[in-house]
Amino acid sequence: MLTVTAMKQKKFNIILFVTAAFLCGPAFSQLAPEVELYGKKYVNAYKVRLNQEMNLDISIKSGELEIEQSHLEEDLYLNDAAVGSSRKSLNFSSFFEMGDIKASSLLFEKNKYKEYNVENYTVKDELNNSFHDDTKSVNFIYPGLQKGAKSKLEYSEKIKNPRFLMPFYFGDFFPVVNNIFTVTVDKDVSLKFLQFNTEDLDLEFSEVEKRGKKIYTWKAANVEQYENEAGSPTFKKVIPHVVPVISSYTYKGNTVKVLDDVNDLYSWYNSLVKDLNNAEDDEELVSLVKEITAGKETELEKVRAIYYWTQKNIKYIAFEYALGGFIPREANEVFQKKYGDCKDNSSILHKMLSIAGLEGQLTWIGTREIPYTYTQLPTPLVDNHMILAYKNGGKTYYLDATGRFIPLEYPSSFIQGKEALISNGDDGFTIEIVPIMPAESSAVIEHTHLKIDGNDIKGRSQARATGYNKIELFRNLEEISNPAKLEEFYNALFEKGSNRFLISSFEEKNKYEYDLDYELNYAFEVKGYANQIGDEIYLNLNLNRELSRYRTLKDRENEIEYEYQNTFSYTTELVLPQGYEVDYLPANEEFDNGLKISFLLSTGVEGS
């Protein structure tokens, strides 16, 4: 807090500099005794899963693998949030064929549970505005769920592709009393089991062989609930799980490889793309490439022109049916339709570079929602995205045209630090790590000139946004359809002091420019912000509240993950009213938590 006091004799102006910079159904009323038991044991849980089981059966039939798995989930609801759990949905697709489903509610009546079966199951396609695949869902409602009720779900499914075995998670964001995972497999099938986050779990494992079958079983009891905290890393990085992987199987003396290592995964991926774009090039596409690269003297300038055109003109809409989720569409088709998914965008980028005499490489990569490396988990679970790699001058550029406003030098924010599986065609692959952009490359820098007008403050600011901050800002601006909404957006984004902050005018510079910093110059006022008592004025010049976003609760359990590293710098210059001097000025402060997050609060005074 700054205090300024009026002087009786000498009149002069003082300019104060304050800079902050940092990086960074049937009714019932009875309750079973177990409700009280688990309610006391798990005070913060709305439900407890009494039993969670998955049984995986892998057998060889006529030289092919047949894979089926069955599931059991039995939940006890400890409070009235049970009603919100009544609706249930199960997904299936061409790779996961849904089998029998039996769902029921168990209500405690007359000192015992009575079972009420779900009678109606509805199947529907799962679609949204930008993603369409062959996923369908079975939807149903548990009857009469209330506090003290149970739900029970049993279902089976057939896995059509042996590369798509799914993890079993020992625990969830609610307590789980009994976890059992069983794998029964023909002895001629070679399996490996990859474990994640199980170091602190009391996991019981057994392996037996019966009648030509191997049976593997994992059990974990009384697993506490995991906290679902804002900003936490993906649950796959927190919850213990086991992933079964089929390395190979033997039939009549012949060994069939499936997924023993990354080489097998790449071999399968490459088989899906090796015949891509062999058709004759679309003449219009050829003409377009020549047009947008005309006058570009260097390879990098040509790549930049092609990359930005694709971002601007190919809309992200994913249509993924069966293996269409893994095979890119032909560049000619993508060009004519002007939309596609990540693979389609990579396909047209690859072709456009080729037309320009340049080489791009199809690249598979996982977003940060997937915490594994290709060595740790060499299955399709390791990645969920495709981009194009381009190499120039010893540097790799990671081109992801599914986004917009991404400069050539920046990877998409959500693949920073991830391994990229870069195709060299039939010659194999390389794995590279996408760089993490330094905090200085994504900045918000603002300089504010301020004056006191009675109890109000008025000012002018020059704000500049770079890197991922600019990309995010542009995406938000694209959604704004009218001037009133735009003004409302800027008032919320640049709010200073209090919610009485109001921008009176603004000027935008370099809006939607890929390679220039975005600038906003604006005038504003905050009514009633200056507190005048007698001949003293009290004013808090920490107008920006950005620091509050980095406050961490003392009882937090999980790590915090940010989308990208940031630098914020706010400088405020206050011209004091004539006849006033600074009576109190806060001392400089500096904080550093050792985790690349530091804060500097400094003040400086100039005057005459």
Instruction: Identify the domain boundary among 239, 257, 275.
Output: 257
Calculate what percentage of the chain has a pLDDT beyond 70: 90
- Residue 26: what pLDDT? 46
Q: Establish if 541 belongs to a structural domain.
A: yes
Q: pLDDT tens, 300-342?
A: 999 999 999 999 999 988 766 556 678 899 999 999 999 999 9
- Distance, in Å, from the CA atom of 566 to the CA atom of 440, rounded to the nearest integer, reads 7
Query: What span, in angstroms and rounded, lies between the C-alpha atoms of 506 and 492?
Result: 14
Residue 329's H or E segment, with its range, is none
The Cβ of residue 218 has, within 10 Å, a number of other Cβ atoms equal to 22
Tell whether 105 and 194 lie within a shared domain. Answer: yes
pLDDT digits 0-9 by tens, 450-478: 999 999 999 999 999 999 999 999 999 99
Q: Do 274 and 197 belong together in one domain?
A: no
Predicted confidence band of residue 124 (pLDDT cuts 50, 70, 90):
confident
Measured CA to CA, the distance from residue 137 to residue 157 in angstroms comes to 13
418 occurs within a structural domain: no
- Residue 361 φ/ψ, nearest 5 degrees: -125, 125
DSSP state of 417: T
CA distance 584 to 572: 17
In the chain, the number of structural domains is 3
C-alpha separations of 223 from 33, 50, 145, 198, 252 in Å: 21, 11, 24, 12, 44
- Among all chains, which residue has been given the structure tokens 């030098």? 409
Rounded average pLDDT over 186-193: 96
Separation between Cα atoms, residue 81 and residue 340, nearest integer Å: 41
pLDDT of residue 277: 94
Does residue 1 carry a pLDDT above 60?
A: no
Nearest to 473 by CA among 456, 494, 459: 494
- Cα gap 104→152, rounded to integer Å: 5
* Residue 590: φ, ψ to 5°: -140, 135
Average pLDDT over residues 363-374: 96
3-class secondary-structure state, position 234? coil
- The answer as to whether 27 is a domain residue is no
Last residue of a domain, one of 257, 287, 302: 257
Residues 95-113 pLDDT 10s: 899 999 999 999 999 999 9
Pair (450, 494) in one structural domain: yes
Contact 153, 72 (CB under 8 A): yes
Among the listed ranges 130-144, 271-285, 453-467, which one has the minimum average pLDDT value?
A: 130-144
DSSP letters for 590-601: EEE-SSS-EEEE
CA dist list (Å): 364 to 122, 164, 348, 422: 36, 17, 16, 7
Same domain assignment for residues 550 and 450: yes
Q: How far apart are CA 284 and CA 288, in angstroms?
A: 6
How far apart are alpha carbons 582 and 567 in whole angstroms?
30
- pLDDT at site 2: 52
124-138, 170-184, 393-407, range with the lowest pLDDT: 124-138
Average model confidence (pLDDT) for the chain? 90
The reported pLDDT for the residue numbered 546 is 76
Which residue, 235, 257, 279, sits at the end of a domain?
Answer: 257
List Cα–Cα distances, 18 to 64, 449, 499, 581, in angstroms: 72, 11, 21, 16
Same domain for 214 and 283, yes or no, is: no
- Domain of 296, in residue numbers: 263-410
493 and 514 in a single domain? The answer is: yes
Contact 406, 398 (CB under 8 A): no
Please, which residues have CB within 8 angstroms of residue 271's CB and are 6 or more apart in sequence?
none
Residue 4 — pLDDT band, cuts 50, 70, 90? Answer: very low
In a domain, 432, yes or no: no
Q: What is the DSSP letter of 498?
A: S
User: How would residue 605 be classed by pLDDT, with cut points 50, 70 and 90?
Assistant: low
- The verdict on 93 and 139 lying in the same domain is yes
Q: Tell me the CA end-to-end span of the chain in Å, nearest whole number.
A: 22
Q: Residue 326 maps to which CATH number?
A: 3.10.620.30
The Cα–Cα gap between 132 and 413 comes to: 24
Q: Identify whether 574 is part of a domain.
A: yes
- Residue 556 to residue 19: CA distance in whole angstroms: 30
Model confidence band, residue 8 (pLDDT cutoffs 50, 70, 90): very low
**Residues contacting residue 295 through CB under 8 Å, at least 6 positions apart:** none
Amino acid symbol at 155:
Y
How far is residue 546 from each of residues 20, 231, 316, 323, measured CA to CA in Å?
A: 10, 16, 32, 45
- DSSP letter for 232, please: P
pLDDT at residue number 21: 39
Total residue length of the chain: 608
Spell out the residues 6+ positions from residue 546 whose beta carbon is closer than 8 angstroms to its own: 20, 22, 568, 570
CATH (domain of 106): 2.60.40.3140
What is the SS3 assignment for 240?
coil
Do 62 and 117 share a domain, yes or no? yes
pLDDT, tens digit, 9 for 90 and up, residues 504-532: 999 999 999 999 999 999 999 999 999 98
* 592 inside domain: yes
Q: What is the pLDDT of residues 493-503, one digit of tens each?
A: 999 999 999 99
Element (H, E) at 209: strand 204-210
Does one domain contain both 119 and 243?
yes
pLDDT at residue 15 greater than cutoff 60: no
Q: How confident is the model at residue 386 (pLDDT cuts 50, 70, 90)?
A: very high
The candidate with the shortest Cα–Cα distance to 402, out of 439, 347, 441, is 347
In this prediction, residue 18 carries a pLDDT of: 39
For residue 10, the model assigns a pLDDT of: 33
Of 565, 554, 563, nearest to 595 (Cα)?
Answer: 565
Q: Is residue 144 part of a domain?
A: yes
* 368: in domain: yes
> Are residues 154 and 46 part of one domain?
yes
The answer to whether the pTM exceeds 0.85 is yes
Q: Do residues 301 and 218 both lie within one domain?
A: no
Q: Are 113 and 174 members of one domain?
A: yes
pLDDT, mean of residues 276-302: 96
Sign of CA dihedral 181, 184, 185, 187: positive
